[in-house]
């Protein structure tokens, strides 16, 4: 399946390109744009998405056709861990929350390295590391096992990056890819 979003979330069948489900804010078209979306990686048909203007977070179960709003404020971005046990959510207050999906509770929080909001977040190939990109152009890693945060990458060719808009780990190599609002695509060894 493929999920696309703007002010309406659409879920598509990738085999025949048919539309499976479509909904927006409370399953109706909305003026609030869906900012980020991620599938749970354990084939359970769960996806999570955040709304840009309201900062709401919805966890949607495609099989049961039910959604639950998570209790968080000013959400920016969301990402499931590789195992699907954890969900990370960043917010406008320069903080990220790691939710235990089974209990539905926040298990950890951590702050941005530069006190600016984290615009994007993703999990590494396992449940240990989270990578985040900030509005001030910094990329950092957080180890949820040791609870250590450290700056990873801030300089590119002597210039600071623009606001980090997207971040992804490579599934096969020790690479991290970022895009920034100054038009750069960067690949980093870690």
Write down the pLDDT at residue 66.
Answer: 84
- Would residue 170 count as lying in a domain? yes
* d(C-alpha 52, C-alpha 54), whole Å: 6
Structure tokens at 158: 């002597």
Query: Using DSSP, how many helices (H) and how many strands (E) does the chain show?
Result: 0, 20
Residue 8 has pLDDT above 80, yes or no: no
Average pLDDT over residues 51-63: 81
* d(C-alpha 117, C-alpha 83), whole Å: 26
- The maximal CA–CA distance of the chain, rounded, in angstroms, is 51
- Would residue 20 count as lying in a domain? no
- Would residue 125 count as lying in a domain? yes
Tell me if residue 150 falls in helix, strand or coil. Answer: strand
Global pTM reads 0.83
Per-residue pLDDT band for 30 (boundaries 50, 70, 90) equals: low
- Would residue 171 count as lying in a domain? yes
- Would residue 7 count as lying in a domain? no
Residue 137: domain span: 82-190
* d(C-alpha 146, C-alpha 158), whole Å: 31
- Distances, alpha carbon 118 to alpha carbons 50, 65, 163, in Å: 14, 30, 9
- Would residue 95 count as lying in a domain? yes
Q: Say what percent of the chain tops pLDDT 90.
A: 25
pLDDT tens track for 122-174: 998 888 999 999 998 889 999 999 999 887 676 555 566 788 999 998 887 78
Among candidate residues 79, 108, 81, the one with its CA nearest the CA of residue 95 = 108
Q: How would you classify residue 30: left for phi > 0, otherwise alpha for psi between -120 and 50, otherwise beta?
A: beta
39 within 8 A of 49, measured Cβ to Cβ:
no
- Distances, alpha carbon 143 to alpha carbons 158, 172, 173, in Å: 27, 20, 18
Q: Say what percent of the chain tops pLDDT 70.
A: 91
Structure tokens at 22: 């479509």
Count of domains forming the chain:
1
Residue 114 has pLDDT above 80, yes or no: yes
Write down the pLDDT at residue 181.
Answer: 87
- Would residue 24 count as lying in a domain? no
Q: Label residue 157 exposed, middle or buried (CB < 10 Å: 0-12, 13-18, 19+).
A: exposed
Residue 113 has pLDDT above 80, yes or no: yes
CATH number of 166's domain? 2.130.10.10
Per-residue pLDDT band for 99 (boundaries 50, 70, 90) equals: very high
Residue 25 has pLDDT above 60, yes or no: no
What are the helix (H) ranges across 87-180? Answer: none
- Would residue 179 count as lying in a domain? yes
Residue 20 has pLDDT above 90, yes or no: no
């Amino acid at each position: 399946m493929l999920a696309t979003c703007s002010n309406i979330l659409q879920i598509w069948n990738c085999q025949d390109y048919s539309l499976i489900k479509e909904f927006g804010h409370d399953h109706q078209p909305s003026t609030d744009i869906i900012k980020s979306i991620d599938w749970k990686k354990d084939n359970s048909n769960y996806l999570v998405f955040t709304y840009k203007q309201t900062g709401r977070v919805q966890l949607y179960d495609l099989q049961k056709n039910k959604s639950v709003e998570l209790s968080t404020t000013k959400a920016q971005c969301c990402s499931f861990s590789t195992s699907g046990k954890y969900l990370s959510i960043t917010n406008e207050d320069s903080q990220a929350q790691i939710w235990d999906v089974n209990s539905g509770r926040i298990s950890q929080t951590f702050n941005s390295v530069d006190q600016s909001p984290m615009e994007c977040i993703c999990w590494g190939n396992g449940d240990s590391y989270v990578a985040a990109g900030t509005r001030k152009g910094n990329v950092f890693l957080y180890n949820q096992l040791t609870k250590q945060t450290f700056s990873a990458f801030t300089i590119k060719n002597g210039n600071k990056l623009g606001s980090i808009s997207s971040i992804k780990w490579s599934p096969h190599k020790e690479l991290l890819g970022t895009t920034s609002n100054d038009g750069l695509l960067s690949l980093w060894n870690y």
